[in-house]
């Protein structure tokens, strides 16, 4: 059952058993009983599943992945640029 949503924690209850999360401007309450007490803080990104916080999202890893994708796109554009130049050099109509 994989439908789990990244959300941001905006409030933690006093007894630390519940929190409020925000997903694109929509807020709902979530249960913290599956995480270690005190582990989840306001501002953390978490995965939400059927009303529970499953886990925290590792921000560094997320940014690292995004960086990887950016590098791949840059490398690809570089390739296309080089090929366009070669094609142009080899153009027979000159």
Partner 1 sequence: MRALELKNLYDDFRDGDTIKAYAKIIAQDAKKLKNPINIMEVCGGHTHTIMKFGLPQLLPNNINFIHGPGCPVCIMPKERIDHAYVLAMQEDVILVTLGDMIKVPGSNGSLQDARAKGADVRFVYSPMECLKIASENPTKTVVFFAIGFETTTPMTAVLVDQVIKQKVPNILFHINHVTVPEVMVELIDSRDEHVDAYNNRIDAFLGPSHVSVIAGSKIYEKFPKDYGRPVVVTGFEPVDMMQGISMIVKQFVEERSELEIQYKRVVNYKGNLTAQALIEKYFEKISLFRWRGLGNVPDSGLKLRDEFSEYNAEIVYKDILPIAEIEDHKLCICGDILRGMAKPQECTIFGTACKPTSPIGSCMVSSEGACSAYYKYGNLI
Partner 2 sequence: MTKTITLAHGNGGEENNELITKIFYKHFKNDILEKSEDSALIEDGKLVMSTDSFTVSPLFFNGGDIGKLAVCGTCNDLAMMGAKPKYLTCSVIIEEGFSTRELEKIVRSMKKELEVNGAVVVSGDTKVVPKGAVDKLFINTTGIGEVQQSGISASALKEGMSILVSRDIGSHGATIFSAREGIKLESSLETDCASLYPQIQALIDAEIDIIALRDATRGGVSAVLNEWAKASNVCVEVEEEAIPVQEEVRGICEMLGFEALDLANEGTYLLAVAKEDEVRALEVLQHTHKSSAVIATVSREYEGRVILKSSWGTKRFLDLPTGELLPRIC
Q: Which residues bind partner 1 (CB under 8 A)?
A: 1-4, 6-8, 22-24, 31, 33-36, 45, 47, 49-52, 54-59, 61-67, 69, 72-73, 76
Quick note: the x/- pattern for partner 2 over 51-90, rule CB under 8 A, is: ----------------------------------------
- Distance between CA atoms of 47 and 14, rounded to whole angstroms? 21
Token code pair at residue 55: 């886990």
Beta-ladder partners of 12? 19
Q: Which does 43 bind (CB under 5 to 8 A by kind): partner 1, partner 2, none?
A: none
Instruction: Please count the other Cβ atoms lying within 10 Å of the Cβ belonging to residue 20.
Output: 16
């Amino acid at each position: 059952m994989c439908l789990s949503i990244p959300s941001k924690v905006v409030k933690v209850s006093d007894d630390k058993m519940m929190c409020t999360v925000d997903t694109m401007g929509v807020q709902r309450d979530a249960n913290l009983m599956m995480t270690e007490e005190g582990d989840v803080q306001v501002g953390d990104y978490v995965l939400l599943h059927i009303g529970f916080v499953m886990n925290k999202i590792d921000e560094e890893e997320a940014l690292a992945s995004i960086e990887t994708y950016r590098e791949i796109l840059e490398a690809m554009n570089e390739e296309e640029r080089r090929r366009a130049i070669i094609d142009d050099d080899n153009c027979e109509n000159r």
